[in-house]
Amino acid sequence: MSESEIDVDMFGNVGKMAGISAETANEEREELTRQLEYNRVRLRELADDATPLERAHVKLDTAESLVALNRGEEAWGLARDAFNTAMELESWQDAVEACNVLYQTEQPASIPALGMGIWLAVTFPVNPELSYTMLDHLVDETQPSADGAALAAVTAKYIIDIRASDEQHDSISFLATNLISRVADRHSQVKTQVGMDVWLDKLELRDPAVFLPRLSLVIGAIVEDSWWFDRDELRNKLPE
């Protein structure tokens, strides 16, 4: 398969997650609380010579602990600070990680944060697993009948195909293929490979020169006028 064409030839079932007991849930919450306190101590005791990015990493770890404890409002400020630092230092991976946490805080600006994180993850050579995660979030936020989820799913597969190392490709490509299958099923009740081929052609989902600009429009609609950075300025910093 060439890098300029998307193909899907696998259907898979997603297993249900097992439930957990109340006792186990309490134990997990206690562990999360201990982890939060540990991260807060780390943040307070950072050495004076710690770099801004080291400080941002600890802030993001603390924000993640708060999110896990359903304390999104507290997590927002820490994750936003980490995002600002990452952007200033042009650490795109860290900026996307911060957007991922900001999305999970479930605050008023969480959806625009998701859109900006996806834009960065697609535009810059960010880890394909993280890029997949961000695009999977977009699928979750998109109505079943909307084409946006399809664009997100095929973009995830495309990014994995061009960025993933040989060691990681098979496992995360499998996830992306299953994501496309799930989206096709809920969008158009696609159940067979023949149906998949017809669906991909009908929605023009094989050529990145077609589906990437369409995804950009979807992201623009999500973020609207809430961009925290100048996209044109960042495009000039793309690796040659």
Length of the chain measured in residues: 240
The model's pTM is 0.87
Q: Which amino acid is at 224?
A: E
Please state the three-class secondary structure of the chain as a single string: CCCCCCCCCCCCCCCCCCCCCHHHHHHHHHHHHHHHHHHHHHHHCCCCCCCHHHHHHHHHHHHHHHHHCCCHHHHHHHHHHHHHHHHHCCCHHHHHHHHHHHHHCCCCCHHHHHHHHHHHHHHCCCCHHHHHHHHHHHHHHCCCCCCHHHHHHHHHHHHHHHHCCHHHHHHHHHHHHHHHHHHHHHHHCCCCHHHHHHHHHHCCCCCHHHHHHHHHHHHHHHHCCCCCCCHHHHHCCCCC
Percent of all residues in the chain with a pLDDT value above 70, rounded to a whole number: 91
* Mean pLDDT, rounded, for 44-65: 90
90-120 in b/e burial notation, b at 16+ Cβ within 10 A? Answer: ebbbbbbbbbbbbbbbebebbbbbbbbbbbb
Banded model confidence at residue 47, pLDDT cuts 50, 70, 90: confident
Which pLDDT belongs to residue 6?
Answer: 52
How many angstroms separate the CA atoms of 43 and 135, rounded? 30
Alpha-carbon separation of residue 142 from 123, 130, 136, 150 (angstroms): 21, 19, 10, 9
How many angstroms separate the CA atoms of 206 and 195, rounded? 14
Using CA atoms of 201, 169, 60, 73 in order, give the dihedral in degrees to the nearest 10. Answer: 30
pLDDT tens digits, one per residue of 208-230: 999 999 999 999 999 999 999 99
Which pLDDT belongs to residue 46?
Answer: 82
Which pLDDT belongs to residue 20?
Answer: 62
How many angstroms separate the CA atoms of 109 and 225, rounded? 12
* Mean pLDDT, rounded, for 188-203: 96
pLDDT of residue 8 exceeding 70: no
Which pLDDT belongs to residue 1?
Answer: 42
Please provide the average confidence, as pLDDT, over all residues in the chain.
90
Which pLDDT belongs to residue 119?
Answer: 98
- What's the token pair of residue 209? 């020169």
Q: Where are the domains of the chain?
A: 23-107, 110-228
